[in-house]
Amino acid sequence: MNLSSKLLVILLVLLVAISLIIIFGMPWLFSQIAERQMRKEAQTFGLFLLKNIEDIALDKNLDYSSQEAHMEELIYKEFEKAISISTETESFIVDEIILITSDYKVEVGYPREQVGQDYAGHADIVANFAEKKFNIGLERHAVQGQTEVDIDIVSYLTLNDQPRVVEIKLNFKKTTELLASQYRRFNLISVGTGFVIILILMTFLLFVIRRTAIDPVLKIADALEQVGRGNLEITMTHRTKDEFGLMSTRFNEMVTGLKEKLHLSRYVSQSTIDAVKSAVTSGDEFHKPRRKRVTVFFSDIRGFTTYSEKRDPEHIISVLNRILSLQTELINRHGGYVDKFVGDETMAIFPSPEEAVLCSLHIQSRMHKSAADFEGLQIGIGIYEGIAVEGDIGSNEVKNYTFIGDTVNTAARLQSVALGGEIVIPDFIAEKAEISSRFKHSLKGPIKLKGREQEVRLYRVTGLTKKS
């Protein structure tokens, strides 16, 4: 799963989570709002009724001790008036209003059947006589599968210095139904609006994140992939002052470094490059020297020193590079690699004499065909096989991974006795079955090489046999 898909999944999960919060949180929120509204209405209603009852008690034209029945009738009428108001508003139903004396008997009640009832067993009534407070309690209960809400108001008051408690029971069924309908509609609108707002916000967030985070990452990933394919011309143009800008700068520095190493590798032998790769992989700083059987190829452009004295440096380098490039191409094609160039000399390593000899024939053939392009220059080639020492050669500052030893020196001696256009090999190579059966060769003669006491029988390779 790519980065864009992961981010999209995260945002979708977040959208679902927020939606669930809205869907399940809204009913609770609306329930709290409804409860607060009902409490407020009940408090207003209760205070209104209590105020009217207290006004009756304060009427100087009434004597509670002598006109008790008349006062009770007035209070009952106030009960009816309050009930009438609640009926007109249709917000709640008054189930009960009672006025209780200090001996817990109902003095005035609606409905009238409540008069004379004993409330000594009602803890809230008893407690209110002691606390002398205005209390509102909310009760929920299920009736035929629907939730109904009742509010119980219990308040202390005095009538002609006599303690009383008024209890009012209000049924908010109609309020609940009305609010439920309103809140359902509001809930749908809120959820829909919430979804739209969240979707817009998340779309915008996705756009911003994609522009500021995902796109730079994808560009860097694409650039890295192109570098992996060998394209070192790519550059990052992200110039923001953040981590992505820093990554772009470091990426460009990395590509520049790779270009420099690529250019540098052209001046280093393949054996040195392989040695460096191996050292990096193994963690070793230098390679342990070892002896190895190799076939060493040496070539030299005959008369190049005299040729160089009569021509411009640019022309000299141009011709030399073309001859060296021709040799390098054919050496690589035949399984060898160039170990080093020393002036107009070339040293190469092959896995066996057969590849070295075949490569040399192709080099001489190409040189002959391109004689006009190379202004008549010819090369002499010497090939020798034997044990050589392979290792890091040089100072602590500069090293070259190469081969040294008698095999290398002898190959160089064979090249020095080869005439222009010749390929010189020793007798033991010429006598190998794979060489004698495939290549034509003729005796060049016993020749005493520098550094050797005995003469060495040398052969010149002249071409391929008819069998090959």
What is the domain-level CATH number for residue 352? 3.30.70.1230
* Side chain identity, residue 192: G
Q: Give the pLDDT mean for 394-413.
A: 87
Range of the domain at 160: 3-181
463 and 440 in contact (C-beta within 8 Å)?
Answer: yes
Instruction: Choose one of 138, 164, 181: the last residue of a domain.
Output: 181
pLDDT of residue 283: 59
Q: Give the pLDDT mean for 408-420.
A: 93
Q: Please report which helix (H) or strand (E) contains residue 96, including its range.
A: strand 93-100
pLDDT of residue 56: 75
Give the model's confidence band at 383: pLDDT under 50 very low, under 70 low, under 90 confident, else very high. very high
* Those residues with Cβ within 8 angstroms of residue 450's Cβ, 6 or more apart along the chain or in another chain: 413, 416
Kindly report the CA angle at 360 between 356 and 365, in degrees rounded to 5?
155
Pairing of strands 378-394, 290-302: antiparallel
Higher pLDDT, 54 or 178: 54
CA–CA separation, 451 and 459 (whole Å): 19
pLDDT of residue 314: 92
93 and 143 in contact (C-beta within 8 Å)?
Answer: no
pLDDT of residue 467: 67
CA–CA separation, 375 and 298 (whole Å): 22
Q: Give the pLDDT mean for 435-439.
A: 92
3-state SS, one letter per residue, for 336-390? CEEEEEECCEEEEEECCHHHHHHHHHHHHHHHHHCCCCCCCCEEEEEEEEEEEEE
Least confident of 61-75, 231-245, 318-332, 371-385: 61-75
pLDDT of residue 1: 56
For the cut 80, the answer to whether the pLDDT of residue 140 exceeds it is no
Residue 260 belongs to a domain: no
| pLDDT 10s digits, 102-121 | 899 988 888 888 888 998 98
Q: Provide the mean pLDDT of the chain.
A: 82
Question: Which residue carries 């008054």 as its tokens?
Answer: 94
| pLDDT 10s digits, 181-214 | 666 676 677 667 777 877 787 788 778 777 777 7
pTM of the model: 0.50
Instruction: Choose one of 181, 199, 219: the last residue of a domain.
Output: 181
| pLDDT 10s digits, 222-271 | 888 888 887 888 887 767 777 777 888 888 888 888 877 776 666 555 66
pLDDT of residue 255: 83
Q: Report the DSSP beta bridge partners of residue 382.
A: 298, 424
Q: Give the pLDDT mean for 290-315.
A: 92
Give the model's confidence band at 18: pLDDT under 50 very low, under 70 low, under 90 confident, else very high. confident
pLDDT of residue 358: 96
Q: Give the chain's domain count.
A: 2
**Statement to judge: residues 10 and 148 lie in one domain:** yes
344 φ/ψ angles, rounded to the nearest 5 degrees: -100, 10
Residue 195 belongs to a domain: no
Cis peptide bond N-terminal to 111, omega within 30 = yes
Q: What does the DSSP assignment read for 115-155?
A: TT-B-TT-HHHHHHHHH--EEEEEEEEEETTEEEEEEEEEE
Residue 264 belongs to a domain: no
* Those residues with Cβ within 8 angstroms of residue 49's Cβ, 6 or more apart along the chain or in another chain: 78, 79, 82, 97, 166, 168
What is the domain-level CATH number for residue 76? 3.30.450.20
